[in-house]
Structure 1
Amino acid sequence: MKKENVVREKSFRFAVRAIRLYQYICDGQKEYVLSKQMLRSGTSVGANVREADNAESKADFIHKMGVAQKETDETLYWLELMKETGYLAEKEFTSMHADADELLKLIRSIIITAKANR
């Protein structure tokens, strides 16, 4: 039986939410620039986590997870900017921001553990 990979599952679900939020903002707010940036960084998190699963070395794993960490933090930036400029309501912002923050903490913890176990 395959072991559950929590960060892989959470980052995939986060990407799905980013896509749906992008669609919502484009349809409802007719905003395409900021939301596109959020879409790119939000979906990139899971792609980098997936790449880390197939890392060639511990250093490569740490690097890929580091990229995922940066993309998660960038997503937080775009969410905050869209909230501050009125493109995101408090409800949408709070939910998505909480998921991104949780994911960021999880990825940071994985990186710290991987560095300690080198």
Structure 2
Amino acid sequence: MTQFDFNEKYRQRTLRLSSRVIDWYGRLDQPSEAMEIMSRQLIRSVTSTASGFRAACRSRTPPERSEKLSTVVESSDQTLFWLELLKNAELIDQATFDSMYEEALAILKVMATHRKNMMNL
């Protein structure tokens, strides 16, 4: 896979996950204050992952890309945290959790590996 293809694939995946989270939030029926706070944090972290990867794709140098990927990895990990917290508080159904968590974890693993490879250049 070329760098262009990789970038495009993960720009789309991170954007799709962000859209799914926003759509899920929009369908909530009068969330509690705790649910609203955690959900908004989830939206912040997942959209940060998508926008951060987009910025990494436009970086000018390998060190700059590596630095931006570090932010993406951190945001991806925060996304997992907020999903886990929502699940532990029983504020998200199992199927939705599983689907979002699986995709967020896959993105985190790829981004962490990609960052590691960039550091070894």
* TM-score > 0.5 by shorter chain: yes
Q: 1:14 aligns with which of 11, 17, 21?
A: 17
Letter in 1 for 2:86: M
Task: Give the CA RMSD over aligned residues.
Answer: 1.6
Q: Percent identity?
A: 25
Q: Name the counterpart of 1:46.
A: 50
Structure 1 runs, 4 residues or longer, greater than 3 Å off: none
Letter in 2 for 1:62: S
TM norm structure 2: 0.87
1:36 correspondence with 2:40: yes
Q: Tell me the alpha carbon deviations over residues 82-111 of structure 1, each in whole angstroms, 9 at most, x when there is no partner.
A: 011011011111110000000001101111
Q: What is the CA–CA distance in structure 2 between the aligned matches of 1:70 and 1:54, rounded to whole Å?
A: 19
1:32-111 matched pairs, under 5 angstroms: 32-111=36-115
Letter in 1 for 2:57: D
Query: What residue ranges of structure 1 are gaps of 5+ in the alignment?
Result: none
Query: What residue ranges of structure 2 are gaps of 5+ in the alignment?
Result: none
Q: What is the CA–CA distance in structure 2 between the aligned matches of 1:73 and 1:110, rounded to whole Å?
A: 15
Count of residues paired in the alignment: 115
Secondary structure (helix, strand or coil) at the match of 1:32 reads helix
Secondary structure (helix, strand or coil) at the match of 1:86 reads coil
Secondary structure (helix, strand or coil) at the match of 1:55 reads coil
